[in-house]
Amino acid sequence: MQSAVSTWQTRLNALGPGILMATAAIGGSHLVASTQAGAIFGWQLFWLIVVVNVLKYPFFRFGIEYTLATKKSLVEGYQSKGLWFFYSFIGLNIIAAVVNTAGVLLLTASLLHYALPVNISVTLLCWLILAVCLVILLLGHFKALDNVAKAIMGLLTLATVIALAIAFSNGAMNHGTMAPADYIGPSPYELAMLGFMVALMGWMPAPIEISALSSLWLKEKQSQQTVTRAQGLFDFNVGYWLTAALALVFFSLGVLVQYGQSNEIALGGVAFAKQLIDMYALTIGEWARPLVSVIAFSCMFGTTLTVLDGYARTLNESHKLLGFKQSKHSLNIWLILQSLAGMAVILFFKSALGPMLTFAMTLAFITTPVFAWLNFSLVRSEPSIQHSKLVRTLSWVGLVYLVGFALVFLGWKLV
């Protein structure tokens, strides 16, 4: 009989795709959206982040289960469901790949720009960070990415929890916030705030297409070693729930440090970097500035790496399934094309990047019910995949919630 120690060792060896998913997810949704939700509305949207993470869980899990059972990627599954679904995924994926690459790269460069003692332009830093990422990915691809992601997630988790503990211990729990006693914050439950809530949920814990990225990362892992169902689900659950927990941590930091203060968190760019690092350093203590810088930059650098690799894989897989001829350099070509497209957005549309990120987050939520149903449908068509009553219930409740919220939002927009 296999010992408990060896069982845990094999599970730890299988870690990878779930950690990559977590690293890809915590960029815009956590540093920006979660922190901003806490900073603007206090604790009022805590429940929303919990509910969205719980109700989206089955649909991200289904992508992993489908690949574990069939050795096929979700992208192949989408193609099997019909060309309409397949082409819809490709269109959404192209938009997400370009906008997300530009967004995370600019945020990463902005954080580095603010932290460096010398004045280097953000655009030049974007090129430098992109070059470093490409070197890591082109030379090592999955193995290098796998190792870097694990190191970054370990550092990020430790540093973020320390920052939250400091915020609590230094008296930041003045009635749960740093807001003045007579401060009355805005309510998120007005129709005018529906767009904000939808954007927040769109990238919480990650855009739904990240499930396709996770599926491809798992497929790559399977090509290197045997991954059992237990190992694959263990890896996924660690990555997913770590992502959800960090979303609540960043949300709590936004409440504890920024709620009720005069400055709002900017959506992107150098202003975002300055406000994010300053608000923690000024409240927790100036000594914490390096800690916060490490948290923020590590988070965004890891996100940039995984976004570049993951979306390039989905673009390459889609290209292959469309019947185009592939070469051994096809993935590298897509990686470079995606990088150049992201840089083009930064060079020509940098001032509009904030609205573009909001658009991408909103689009992600509107399309979530479609791809959530697709993922659900794919695993239901596989007799070897069986679920507990809890997972089945969460799936149906999640579909009703996501469809209902999307219809309310679209109706509000049309009216």
Q: How far apart (Å, rounded) are the C-alpha atoms in residues 125 and 304? A: 13
CATH number at residue 160: 1.10.4160.10
Provide the token pair at 327.
């070469």
Q: How far apart (Å, rounded) are the C-alpha atoms in residues 414 and 156? A: 41
pLDDT at 116 over 50: yes
Task: Yes or no: say if 236 and 18 are a contact pair by the CB < 8 Å rule.
Answer: yes
Q: How far apart (Å, rounded) are the C-alpha atoms in residues 300 and 25? A: 10
1 in a structural domain: no
- Using alpha carbons, select from 244, 294, 311 the residue that is nearest to residue 56: 244
pLDDT tens sequence across 197-216? 887 888 788 888 888 888 98
329 in a structural domain: yes
pLDDT category of residue 333 using cuts at 50, 70 and 90: very high
Provide the token pair at 92.
């959404």
- For the segment 335-363, the average pLDDT, to the nearest whole number, is 81
User: In b/e form, how buried is each residue of 12-48, taking b as 16+ CB within 10 angstroms?
Assistant: eebbbbbbbbbbbbbbbbbbbbbbbbbbbbbebbbeb
- For the segment 320-330, the average pLDDT, to the nearest whole number, is 86
Backbone angles phi, psi at 409, to 5 degrees: -65, -45
Mean pLDDT of the chain: 81
When comparing pLDDT for 289 and 385, which is higher? 385
Looking at residue 187, what DSSP letter applies? Answer: P
Tell me the C-alpha to C-alpha distance, in Å, between residue 335 and each of 20, 91, 258, 281, 307: 17, 17, 38, 37, 10
pLDDT category of residue 33 using cuts at 50, 70 and 90: confident
170 in a structural domain: yes
pLDDT at 75 over 60: yes
Q: Among 6-20, 22-36, 181-195, 329-343, where is mean pLDDT lowest?
A: 6-20
Which pTM was predicted? 0.85
**Number of domains the chain contains:** 1
Looking at residue 191, what DSSP letter applies? Answer: G
The whole-number pLDDT of residue 131 equals 94
Q: How far apart (Å, rounded) are the C-alpha atoms in residues 279 and 260? A: 12
When comparing pLDDT for 16 and 60, which is higher? 60
Compute how many other C-beta atoms are within 10 angstroms of the C-beta atom of residue 208: 26
Q: How far apart (Å, rounded) are the C-alpha atoms in residues 274 and 281? A: 10
Provide the token pair at 280.
């923690």
User: In b/e form, how buried is each residue of 338-353, taking b as 16+ CB within 10 angstroms?
Assistant: bbeebbebbeeebeeb
- Using alpha carbons, select from 381, 295, 397 the residue that is nearest to residue 65: 381
Provide the token pair at 215.
């599926």
The whole-number pLDDT of residue 10 equals 57
pLDDT tens sequence across 390-406? 999 999 999 999 888 88
4 in a structural domain: no
Provide the token pair at 270.
């150098």
Task: Yes or no: say if 219 and 76 are a contact pair by the CB < 8 Å rule.
Answer: no
Task: Yes or no: say if 77 and 93 are a contact pair by the CB < 8 Å rule.
Answer: no
What is the percentage of the chain residues whose pLDDT exceeds 90? 19
The whole-number pLDDT of residue 282 equals 66
pLDDT tens sequence across 126-163? 999 999 999 888 887 666 666 676 777 777 777 777 77
C-alpha atoms less than 13 angstroms from C-alpha of 263 in its C-beta half-sphere: 14
User: In b/e form, how buried is each residue of 139-162, taking b as 16+ CB within 10 angstroms?
Assistant: eebbebbbebbbebbeebbebbee
- Does residue 205 have a cis peptide bond before it, meaning omega lies within 30 degrees of 0? yes
3 in a structural domain: no
The whole-number pLDDT of residue 6 equals 47
Q: Among 24-28, 39-43, 302-306, where is mean pLDDT lowest?
A: 24-28
pLDDT at 29 over 90: no
Structural domain boundaries enclosing 239 = 14-414
Residue that is written with structure tokens 């995984």 in the block: 306
What is the DSSP secondary-structure string of 136-147?
HHHHHHHHHHHH
5 in a structural domain: no
Rg (CA), the chain: 21
